[in-house]
Amino acid sequence: MLREYFVVDEDCINVLAWGPPEIIDLGTDGASVQTSIGNRIEVNGAAADAGRFDTIVIPGSELPPTRFVTAEVLAAACALSAKTRRLVSICSGAFVLAELGLLDGRQATTHWKFTRELAHRYPKADVQPDAIFVRDGNLYTSAGVVAGVDVALALVEEDHGPDIARRVAQSLVVYMQRPGGQSQFSASLSGPAPRSALVRRAVDLICADPAYPHTVQTLAAHAQVSPRHLTRLFRSELERSPAEYLGFVRFCTARDLLHAGHSVTEAAITAGYGNSEALRRAFVARLGISPSKYQQRFRSTGSAVVSEDEEVRAVS
């Protein structure tokens, strides 16, 4: 069974379709386009003249969504979305679907840099910030560029079954399904900054010594307010309770120590977890992977391998 896949390029000025038996390039007006890396693509025609396609895929752009989601792109995507069985976005391409109202009442995701903006601008969408990709009916949305591989494997599995998808993943030397969510790839887990001097004093105390056994009472005493008032301020300004913020800082501290090459035990004690098992539970709860595996993936680009025995020893 022949399948065709329709794609709007990362600058949203070009549309590509691939799949047996041929590759078709389409632009919004039929003119050749220049991609963000500088190469020029000759197209076969305009999107408005295209026929039906099995799957339309809309990637995002390095440009802010307010710049790349143009009227021309929206018109092309709107016309094409009515001519397909299945609709997919990659990265910030989700903003094109959201602007067309196609994410209203549906679960969706995008690159971690844009999830907060997507949820704020389109409150009718049910944004899943940690998902690598999300399927809701015939609509797929995915995170960053490489998440396009993940969602492509899901499409292959949907069309041809898990055995074929597994063979494709093996050929590409990628996971059939990556463990953990996209937050493990985030360059920053930072949240809103404190707005008031009271909250800033409590935050500075936590960040200065996250391993100290802070409580809402000790933090409130330091800020010279009642525990109840401090909790209200934290929730209003930081979207977390004092205890939740303390856990957040400890996690970020441990993560940064792992990046710097410290052992799991060292990171756990310095960040205030007490022992490596508590840190392991925190990593699994937040990212879906253990701290040893996280460190193995993000500490360097070398070929170091952490054995299962070493990981067991690290958390014992």
Contacts 24+ apart (CB under 8 A), 284-291: 286/183, 286/251, 287/180, 287/181, 287/183, 287/184, 288/179, 288/180, 288/181, 288/184, 289/179, 289/180, 289/184, 290/315, 291/254, 291/258, 291/264, 291/267, 291/315
- Return the pLDDT at 45: 77
- Return the pLDDT at 9: 43
- Return the pLDDT at 242: 96
- Calculate what percentage of the chain has a pLDDT beyond 90: 40
How far is 134 from 132, CA to CA, in rounded Å? 7
Residue 235 reports pLDDT greater than 50 = yes
Tokens standing for residue 10: 């990362």
- Euclidean distance between the first and final Cα of the chain, in Å? 52
Reference 254, options 231, 222, 301, 287; nearest CA is 287
Average pLDDT of the residues in 287-313:
61
Cis ω for the linkage preceding 21 (within 30 of 0): yes
How far is 93 from 6, CA to CA, in rounded Å? 13
User: Structural domains in the chain?
Assistant: 5-183 (3.40.50.880), 197-315 (1.10.10.60)
pTM here is: 0.65
How far is 292 from 235, CA to CA, in rounded Å? 32
Contacts of 15 (CB under 8 A, 6+ apart): 6, 7, 8, 9, 25, 26, 27, 28, 43, 47, 50, 76, 80
Tokens standing for residue 160: 């041809």
For 71-123, what is each residue's pLDDT tens digit?
Answer: 998 998 898 888 889 999 999 999 999 999 999 999 999 998 899 899 999 99
How confident is residue 17, by pLDDT bands cut at 50, 70 and 90? Answer: very low
Cβ-count burial 141-164 (b if 16+ within 10 Å, e if not): bbbbeebbbbbbbbbbbeeeeeee
